[in-house]
Structure 1
Amino acid sequence: MWLLVPAVSALLLVAYFLFPQEVPESVPVSSFDLNEAESPQQTETPPTVEPIQISPVVDVKGAVAHPGVYELSPEARIQDLIQAAGGFLPEADSRAINLAMKLQDEMSVYVPAVGEEILLPESPHSAAATGDTMVNLNTAAEAELTSLPGIGPSKAAAIITYRTDHGNFKTIDELKEVTGIGDKTFEQLKDAITVK
C-alpha cells in the first residue's frame, strides 16, 4: 500500500507533463493592428507640386514671313517660333539661328538675311554704351556673336554649344568657361555683352 502512493504520484506527474491542461486563449495585450499603426501621412504619397510654367511671349523680327509677337507653349523652341511666324523667307540665313534653343519670356529673336552683318555701334555715345543694343549671351544668334570683337564663327559656335549644354549664362564672367575664350578675349568684349 505504501508503494502505491509514490506510484500514483509519479503517474500523475507524467500525465501532467504529457497531457497539459487546456489553457484559455491568451488575450493580446492590445488588439491594435500593426498595419493600422502607420499614420495616413506615412502611407499616402504627398501630392507633387507641379512648377508653374509660363508661356513665353517672344518677338521675332527679320527674314521671316510674319514678324511679330507670339505666345507659345512653355516647352517651345526657336524652331517653333519660326514656324509660328510663317517660316523663313528665301533670303534668310537660317544657319545664324540656333533652332534648338528654348524660348524665354520677353525674348527677341532676329533672323538675318544671308550676308547681312549685325554690327554694334562703336561710338561711346551710341546706344551700345547705354546697354540698349548689347549682345545678350543667352539669346544671341551666331551672326550677333560674330559681331563681337575677337569672336569668329568657331568661337560663336562654341558659345552656342556651351549655352545649349549648360543652360543660360548666369553672369558675363561665365563666358570665360567657353573653350577658346580667355581673359584677353573677354576683356575686349565685356563692355558689349550682357546676360538677361
Structure 2
Amino acid sequence: MTAPPVAAAESERLAAPDARRRIGVGAILVIVLLAFAAVVVIGMLRGTTGTQIVAASPTPSAAVLAPATAGVYVHVAGAVRAVGLYRLDVGGRVADAIALAGGFADDADRAGVNLARPVTDGEQIVVPVLGAIPDAVAPGAAANGAAGGLIDLNAATADQLDTLPRVGPAMAERIISWREQNGRFTSVDDLLSVPGIGDKMLAAIRDLVRV
C-alpha cells in the first residue's frame, strides 16, 4: 500500500539530516586519516635527513659523514675497536671520542693519548699500538715535542720551548698556559694569540715549530 504523499515527504525530511550527519562523520574520518598519514610521512622524512650521531667503520676506511649539525667531528684511528668519524658535543674530550669508537683495542698503547684533552673540529685522534715507533719521530729526536727536529707546540715542555729564539722561560709558560686553556694549537699562526708574541717573534720561530 503506497504511503500518502504527506507521510512520504515527512519521512524524507526526517531522513535528510541523518544522511548529512553520516556524510559529515565520514568526511571528518577521512580528514583525520589524511592528517595522520601526513604526520607519518613528515616523520619519515625527518628520520632520513636528521643527524647521525656516529658514522663509524669497523675497517680503517673512512666513514660517511652525517649532515652537519652543532658539534665537532673527529676522526678516530689507530688501535680502537671501530675506526671512523664521530660527532661530539662542543667541549668533548679525547676520552669521549675513544668511547664512541668502541674503546681501546687490545694492543692499544693507552698512555699514548691524553684522554683529558678537549677535541677540536676536524682533528684526527690516532691511538698508537704498543711498541710502535711514531712515524714522525726521527732518530735522535726528543720523544716529547721535538719530532723531526721541530718542536711540537702541543706536546713540548717549557724547557723545550725555552730553546726557541726570543722565547724565554716566561714566554714558554705563556705558551703552555694558552695550550691548556684552549685545548691545542691548530696552526703555528695561533701563537699570535699568546700574549707577548707578535709578528717578528712568530717569524723567528715559525720554521722551528709544528702542530
TM range (shorter): 0.3 to 0.5
Greater helix percent: which structure? Answer: 2
Alignment TM-score, normalising by the size of structure 1:
0.48
Structure with greater Cα Rg = 1
